[in-house]
Amino acid sequence: MIEVEDVYFRYPNGVEALKGVSLTIKNGEFVAIMGQNGAGKTTLVKHFNGLLKPTKGRVLVDEAETTKVSVATLARKVGFVFQNPDHQLFCETAEEEIAFALKNFGFKETIIKRRVQWALNLLGLTQYKKISPFMLSGGERKRVALASVLAWNPKILILDEPTIGQDYQQKEKLRQFILQMKTQRKTVIIVTHDVEFVAECNPRVVLMREGKIVADGEAKEILTNEEVLTQASIVPPQIAQIFMQMPSLQLPKNIIDVYEAREILLKMLRSDAK
């Protein structure tokens, strides 16, 4: 679905944000791009919808080279929710905000109404539909921005720091929705610092540092590799930290999921009881 081939990108101020990045993301994959501030995460994903064009190298999205198609064309396939929702909100009400892209893409009015109501219900925004997004909290505005993208059902969904400002309940709804998207063969890419959220979702993890990819693999392998995490200045998930601190119990070292950890500990207790 996405091919990044030896991409370099330099901003007008001279900062080289990407340095020879190559990456393949397949249709239906769920990928978390992680790393500290300035690692190049957001710069990279902005290449996936044509907002940024490579200084060197090339990016293909669904076989189309991004330098040869418009951002508007890519927008039909790639939905992008910015880290700061204020960068993409401008309508007078939440309801109008969610309907805007649908109208722009030429959906019928009956479909627009149905999709808007679906998105409002999904993200718990129905009570705010007649309110200006700028009257809402930061977390609520983030949900309006997400709803406005989900409404047109893009093939690829990019979420930049989607859990910021969200409580546990909203994070769980987001996790369940992403899992639902996977069953529909949608490609989901998140940029995030939220190690615990990634641990619960267990996606493929692409770890970046100083404009380069330093690790790429399953979450449970990447997020329990102390050498790699130290290199990228990332702390392991809490469960992984606990298991690492009990070497005498000979616990598995690649556990990041709370439920898997519970089953392992319960099994040990049953074994000891016998």
Q: Does the pLDDT at position 250 exceed 70?
A: yes
Integer Cα distance of 206 and 35 in angstroms: 9
What digits encode the pLDDT tens for the residues 153-177? 899 999 999 998 888 888 888 888 8
Identify the pLDDT of residue 189. Answer: 97
pTM for the full predicted model = 0.90
Identify the pLDDT of residue 268. Answer: 79
Q: Does the pLDDT at position 273 exceed 90?
A: no
Tell me how far the alpha carbon of residue 42 is from its chain's centroid.
10
Mean pLDDT over 51-73 rounds to 94
Identify the pLDDT of residue 211. Answer: 96
Q: Does the pLDDT at position 247 exceed 80?
A: no
Banded model confidence at residue 249, pLDDT cuts 50, 70, 90:
confident
> In this structure, what token pair is assigned to residue 90?
């401008």
Q: Does the pLDDT at position 125 exceed 90?
A: yes
Q: Does the pLDDT at position 271 exceed 80?
A: no
Q: Does the pLDDT at position 3 exceed 70?
A: yes
- 124 or 205: which leads in pLDDT: 205
Identify the pLDDT of residue 164. Answer: 86
Mean pLDDT, all residues of the chain? 91
Q: Does the pLDDT at position 274 exceed 80?
A: no
Mean pLDDT over 240-256 rounds to 80
Q: What is the DSSP string of the chain?
A: -EEEEEEEEE-TTS-EEEEEEEEEE-TT-EEEEE-STTSSHHHHHTTTTTSS--SEEEEEETTEEGGGS-HHHHHTTEEEE-SSGGGT--SSSHHHHHHHHHHHTT--HHHHHHHHHHHHHHTT-GGGTTS-GGGS-HHHHHHHHHHHHHTT--SEEEEESTTTT--HHHHHHHHHHHHHHHHTT-EEEEE---HHHHHHH--EEEEEETTEEEEEEEHHHHTT-HHHHHHTT-PPPHHHHHHHT-GGGT--S----HHHHHHHHHHHHHHHH-
Per mean pLDDT, which range of 25-34, 70-79, 256-265 is the poorest?
256-265
Mean pLDDT over 186-195 rounds to 95
Which domains are delineated in the chain? 2-77+155-236 (3.40.50.300), 89-153 (no CATH)
Identify the pLDDT of residue 179. Answer: 86
Integer Cα distance of 232 and 215 in angstroms: 9
Taking residue 117's Cβ as centre, other Cβ atoms within 10 Å add up to 15
Q: Does the pLDDT at position 261 exceed 90?
A: no
Mean pLDDT over 16-45 rounds to 96
Q: Does the pLDDT at position 116 exceed 90?
A: yes
- 243 or 59: which leads in pLDDT: 59
Mean pLDDT over 218-232 rounds to 90
